[in-house]
């Protein structure tokens, strides 16, 4: 990697994202305090409910942080920098040309984060010890108002999804290292296209300046194979969380059926009907939810939740891209 190929200037990315992001609903001080207290209480309650549904015991501590949209942008620039900066080779001092290019790429990253910050309700970060749960308060309020659902029920439902992610990484303490290793392998797997090239393609897709599909970003056979494996893992994580949030909420959320119906309708519209959603890859994200949920439901039907939990015991027991669509093949291979 020559010393004039840019890194991302993460300070510019954060500043740009915070400047461009929509603030969301305006609440008075009393309403904000009540919202924060409600979300924190829901997050605590969701742990025990999730444990019972998933058959996984939470161990250790995690931080539960209620943030606004600029706060989510900051958290994700720090997360991305922590994951990607170590992948750069030593390239000496940054040249003036490199600094300008890094700032430009940082601005593009920040623009993408600003868009995503208005769509994300919650996020579990397993890469920052001891694990951090982010609840994006303005986005949660905005969506619950748009759907016309009971706020207390909706907030617990969102927290059940995110706390299920916490349980996944509790059950599989190796999983965070496995995922970060896949990220490293993915962006370094083609000697002709280093980290900056892949990042440029990823962040420019929403602006129509780069590849039209995510598959075009990762061009080599090695990258495409690894991306398929990573996509299968993400489908498992999101589908499992979707299944468990409803199992856990069945006896605890009176309006669960209404919430799921309204949310699915909105999620399909947001991720599929919007051109921006397709360019951001949200259609693939929706497919991950649905394919992963179908996989988990089929495995549970055959071998129960305890049988499904074998998936957390080692990387070798994660479903392959083919097995996500054929859960019976996973059951045969892993459970005999």
3-state secondary structure 230-248: HHHHHHHHHHHHHHHHHHH
- The full set of domain ranges for the chain reads 10-335
100 is written with which tokens? 């300008």
Strand-pair partners of 65: 134
| Average pLDDT taken over every residue of the chain | 86
306 is written with which tokens? 């305890």
Contacts of 156 (CB under 8 A, 6+ apart): 42, 45, 46, 249, 252, 253
Cα–Cα distances (Å) from 245 to 167, 184, 293, in that order, read 12, 31, 11
Give me the residue label for tokens 């994006």: 136
CA atoms of 192 and 93, how far apart (whole Å): 22
Maximum average pLDDT range among 30-34, 181-185, 188-192: 30-34
User: In this model, does residue 271 exceed pLDDT 70?
Assistant: no
Contacts of 296 (CB under 8 A, 6+ apart): 236, 239, 240, 243, 308
Residue 166's nearest CA partner among 63, 310, 256 is 63
Name the pTM for this structure: 0.87
Residue that wins the pLDDT comparison between 275 and 4:
275
Question: CB-based burial of residue 240 (10 Å sphere; 0-12 exposed, 13-18 middle, 19+ buried)?
Answer: buried
Question: CB-based burial of residue 33 (10 Å sphere; 0-12 exposed, 13-18 middle, 19+ buried)?
Answer: exposed
CA atoms of 235 and 253, how far apart (whole Å): 25
174 is written with which tokens? 């190796």
Residue 49's nearest CA partner among 172, 163, 125, 140 is 163
In eight-state DSSP terms, residue 51 is H
CA atoms of 108 and 99, how far apart (whole Å): 14
Residues in the chain: 336
CA atoms of 328 and 35, how far apart (whole Å): 44
Question: Which pLDDT score, from 0 to 100, does residue 211 have?
Answer: 55
Give me the residue label for tokens 């070798």: 316
For the chain, the distance separating the N- and C-terminal CA atoms, rounded to the nearest angstrom, is 47
Query: Mind listing the pLDDT tens digit for each residue in 234-259?
Result: 999 999 999 999 999 999 999 999 99
Contacts of 144 (CB under 8 A, 6+ apart): 151, 154, 155
pLDDT band, very low/low/confident/very high, at 138 (cuts 50, 70, 90): very high
Mean pLDDT computed over 80-88? 82
Question: Which pLDDT score, from 0 to 100, does residue 281 have?
Answer: 55
Give the pairing of strands 122-125 and 63-67.
Answer: unpaired
pLDDT band, very low/low/confident/very high, at 135 (cuts 50, 70, 90): very high
Residue that wins the pLDDT comparison between 65 and 194:
65
Give me the residue label for tokens 């074998």: 310
**Interior angle at CA 226, CA 223 and CA 228, nearest 5:** 110
CA atoms of 149 and 6, how far apart (whole Å): 46
User: In this model, does residue 102 exceed pLDDT 90?
Assistant: no
User: In this model, does residue 6 exceed pLDDT 80?
Assistant: no
Mean pLDDT computed over 140-150? 97
Q: Tell how far CA 328 is from the center of its chain.
A: 27
């Amino acid at each position: 990697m020559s010393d004039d190929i840019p890194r991302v200037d993460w300070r510019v990315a954060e500043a740009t994202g915070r400047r461009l992001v929509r603030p969301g609903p305006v609440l008075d001080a009393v309403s904000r305090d009540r919202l924060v207290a409600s979300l924190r209480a829901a997050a605590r309650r969701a742990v025990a409910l999730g444990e019972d549904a998933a058959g996984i015991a939470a161990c250790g501590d995690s931080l539960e942080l209620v943030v606004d949209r600029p706060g989510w942008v900051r958290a994700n620039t720090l997360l991305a920098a922590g994951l990607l900066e170590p992948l750069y080779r030593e390239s000496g001092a940054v040249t003036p040309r490199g600094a300008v290019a890094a700032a430009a790429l940082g601005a593009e990253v920040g623009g993408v984060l600003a868009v995503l910050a208005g769509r994300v309700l919650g996020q579990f970060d397993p890469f920052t010890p001891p694990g951090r749960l982010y609840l994006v308060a303005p986005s949660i309020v905005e969506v619950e108002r748009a759907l016309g659902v009971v706020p207390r029920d909706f907030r617990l439902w969102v927290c059940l999804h995110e706390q299920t992610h916490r349980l996944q990484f509790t059950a599989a303490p190796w999983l965070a290292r496995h995922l970060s290793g896949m990220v490293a392998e993915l962006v370094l797997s083609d000697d002709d296209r280093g980290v900056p090239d892949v990042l440029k393609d990823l962040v420019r897709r929403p602006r129509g300046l780069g590849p039209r599909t995510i598959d075009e970003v990762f061009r080599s056979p090695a990258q495409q194979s690894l991306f398929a494996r990573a996509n299968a893992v993400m489908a498992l994580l999101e589908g499992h969380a979707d299944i468990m949030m409803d199992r856990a909420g069945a006896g605890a959320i009176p309006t669960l059926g209404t919430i799921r119906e309204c949310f699915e309708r909105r999620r399909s519209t947001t991720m599929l009907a919007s051109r921006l959603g397709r360019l951001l890859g949200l259609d693939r994200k929706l497919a991950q939810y649905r394919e992963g949920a179908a996989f988990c439901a089929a495995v549970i039907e055959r071998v129960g939740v305890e049988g499904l939990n074998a998936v957390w015991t080692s990387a070798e027991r994660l479903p392959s891209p083919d097995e996500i669509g054929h859960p019976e093949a996973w059951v045969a291979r892993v459970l005999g």
